[in-house]
Chain A
């Protein structure tokens, strides 16, 4: 429709006011909308490459970790007959002959293909002795004669335990919650109900607790040390504060491993601080203080590493507080300390919140420094994740612990974003 036709139509319509149209006859409103949409698309188009890159190199890996924490392929893949047969079992008394026969079939196939080991490893997380039960039985499965029920129980009395079959039945599903249960020190009891481990066998809850306690101590020490110097930096004239800022920024930019090894050099028993104390006569030579390879080492080294993360947000908030408020309070008769506490400190709360959450988020997920200077008592939850990833190879449990930690960090980060706003973050 040309503009002329359009205008004629409107004239024919009579009373209606002429609509605003562009030169090519499109109503102005929809034309604007289209331009808007095009600009939105153009903006989005610029972000797309990075978005795809992050999804492939980062989001998918995280998703694969979350999936690992519930993924349970071993039994479904390598005991297919048993998994199918056990569905008919009512859970009372031992399963019938068909289930045993299916198990023998699976054991023979699994023994030949050497896949039974994966089942054995997987079930060993749930019951000790599963490894020898499965690999032992698989070795001799092809010698067995029916009735398989008696034959298997003869081979290993564990096959006659209802609890063995309950575990197999429970883990026969392709998705499991047992890694998460293990990650919070819970497990299935004799009767299949979910319950806590015995007090003395709990590992992960105490470790989560210790991670929290150490992170809180680190946050508090960084606040205690960071607040005075941030105030000094914010109140000094620019040319002095820029100079002093180097003392904060240089450590910030120095390699993490450099700083961690520096603390080992300083704190170890033959290290610089102990040597000084001994030569000053404050300590006897055989009475050196153990300051590293324990929780003390973790707190000291991590306080040092995270202090700039506290100082920088505090500084940027304090910089915006007008000094005249304090002077006004004093001129109204407030004691300087009272003025400071009632007038100045409340205005720094956004900075305290930003710094504290930042330091806390970073420290609960910290790995390298605790691994190097933490010893036994200074380990955090991330060190255990690494242990399960690299040494014990219980990847499902590592993934479950990681997912819990991730959830905690994301909640804190959401809080940080609500309170502070991530766009306020600056580096240097």
Chain B
């Protein structure tokens, strides 16, 4: 964004102040996440920087909140629960969502708009309403306070992401490949596993990642539908923030930031791979 030589001084001033404004907004976006990371190494049980920390005195830093986290049976069981629920609900959401996306992107699909609306409704309805409805319904059929209940609920919340990402991937999919495969004598199953699936894998994986993170970060449904046995990481953090304000939650938060960095990197790699695959076929 280099300025051409003929710009007037006012335009120059405006241009640089615009860049400063943008810098401030990016600062606003990143600062909260950056600030809590050093604080999680605070030796004192405070939520603010101590004098020792600011002078970079090693005395001011410690790993005690991480020890607290990894040594606590409560937190460890919440990780286990989050993983069990996340993996199981992702599996359901990805399988059902991918199959449905295959149907939805066929040109013969009747009532596509209506069906799409229903299938992605879990993403649109505010979580508090979904959670309240699930609480009523799941209690009446005996699914409340069970792993199955939370898994099904999270799978429902995750499917829209799978449907949307896989449908988007399929929109760039060359349907004539299916005909070519059929004309060479492959049956539908072979065509699916040998032709379609490898090509849409990036979409499926990113859909699965969306579904997983939806479940892993979900708290409202957990608050309403889950019981004591299904306490997840967000549930523990929620009570950590509300009840016992201990800096352990900052250690957890730092680890979660790390997870989101990994997730973002994976998604970016998938996006590039997807673009590369699509690039083979000029559109």
The answer to whether the Cβ of B140 comes within 8 Å of any Cβ in the partner chain is yes
The answer to whether the Cβ of A426 comes within 8 Å of any Cβ in the partner chain is yes
A257-B234, A389-B224 known; A272-B26 Cβ under 8 A: no
Let me know if A254 and B33 touch, CB within 8 A: yes
Q: Determine the main DSSP class of A at the interface with B.
A: helix
Q: Name B226-280 residues within 8 Å CB distance of A.
A: 234, 237-238, 241-242, 249-250, 253, 256-257, 260-261, 263-264, 267, 271
A255-B217, A258-B253, A272-B35 known; A244-B26 Cβ under 8 A: yes
Residue in chain B with minimal CB distance to A37 = B108
A49 CA / B36 CA spacing, docked (Å): 43
Say which residue of B132, B137, B164 sits within 8 Å of A60 (CB atoms).
B137
Let me know if A43 and B253 touch, CB within 8 A: no
* In the complex, chain B residues whose CB is within 8 Å of the CB of A410: 124
Binds B, one of A150-158, A200-208, A397-405: A397-405
The answer to whether the Cβ of A76 comes within 8 Å of any Cβ in the partner chain is no
Binds B, one of A22-30, A172-180, A190-198, A228-236: A228-236
A261 CA / B234 CA spacing, docked (Å): 12
A44-B109, A270-B47 known; A49-B96 Cβ under 8 A: yes
**Contact bitstring B63-88, A, C-beta under 8 A = 1, else 0:** 00000000000000000000000000
The answer to whether the Cβ of B43 comes within 8 Å of any Cβ in the partner chain is no
The answer to whether the Cβ of B41 comes within 8 Å of any Cβ in the partner chain is no
A235-B1, A249-B264, A367-B128 known; A54-B29 Cβ under 8 A: no
Let me know if A58 and B156 touch, CB within 8 A: yes
* In the complex, chain A residues whose CB is within 8 Å of the CB of B103: 42-47
A46-B100, A64-B140, A307-B29 known; A405-B129 Cβ under 8 A: yes
Q: Determine the main DSSP class of B at the interface with A.
A: helix
Residue in chain A with minimal CB distance to B124 = A413
Let me know if A53 and B159 touch, CB within 8 A: yes
The answer to whether the Cβ of A325 comes within 8 Å of any Cβ in the partner chain is no
A368 CA / B135 CA spacing, docked (Å): 17
A-B contact count (CB 8 A): 272
Residue in chain A with minimal CB distance to B267 = A428
Q: Least Cβ distance of A301 to chain B in Å?
A: 9
Say which residue of A264, A361, A372 sits within 8 Å of B124 (CB atoms).
A361
Specify which of B29, B49, B219, B242 lies most central, judged by the most chain A CB atoms within 10 Å of its CB. Answer: B29
A167 CA / B202 CA spacing, docked (Å): 61
Let me know if A47 and B109 touch, CB within 8 A: yes
The answer to whether the Cβ of B172 comes within 8 Å of any Cβ in the partner chain is no
Say which residue of A250, A256, A264 sits within 8 Å of B47 (CB atoms).
A264
Let me know if A58 and B121 touch, CB within 8 A: yes
* In the complex, chain A residues whose CB is within 8 Å of the CB of B182: none
Let me know if B122 and A395 touch, CB within 8 A: no
Let me know if B257 and A254 touch, CB within 8 A: yes
The answer to whether the Cβ of A268 comes within 8 Å of any Cβ in the partner chain is yes
* In the complex, chain A residues whose CB is within 8 Å of the CB of B120: 422
* In the complex, chain B residues whose CB is within 8 Å of the CB of A395: 136
The answer to whether the Cβ of A262 comes within 8 Å of any Cβ in the partner chain is yes
Say which residue of B140, B153, B219 sits within 8 Å of A257 (CB atoms).
B219
**Contact bitstring A403-425, B, C-beta under 8 A = 1, else 0:** 00110011001000100001101
A40-B108, A389-B224 known; A265-B33 Cβ under 8 A: no
Q: A-contacting residues of B (Cβ < 8 Å)?
A: 1, 11, 18-19, 21-22, 25-26, 28-33, 35-36, 39, 46-49, 92, 96-97, 99-100, 102-104, 106, 108-110, 115-122, 124-130, 132-138, 140, 152-153, 155-156, 159, 161, 163-165, 167-168, 206, 210, 213, 216-217, 219-220, 223-224, 234, 237-238, 241-242, 249-250, 253, 256-257, 260-261, 263-264, 267, 271
CB pairs A–B below 8 angstroms (12 shown):
A49-B96, A51-B118, A57-B152, A59-B118, A61-B133, A250-B33, A255-B257, A257-B238, A261-B249, A264-B47, A372-B238, A382-B126
Which 6 A-B residue pairs are closest in the complex by CB-CB distance? A365-B126, A46-B103, A61-B133, A262-B32, A50-B100, A61-B137
Q: B-contacting residues of A (Cβ < 8 Å)?
A: 36, 39-40, 42-47, 49-51, 53-55, 57-65, 68, 225-226, 228-229, 232, 235-236, 244, 246-251, 253-266, 268, 270-272, 275, 304, 307-308, 336, 361-362, 364-368, 372, 382, 385-386, 389-390, 395, 398-399, 402, 405-406, 409-410, 413, 417, 422-423, 425-428
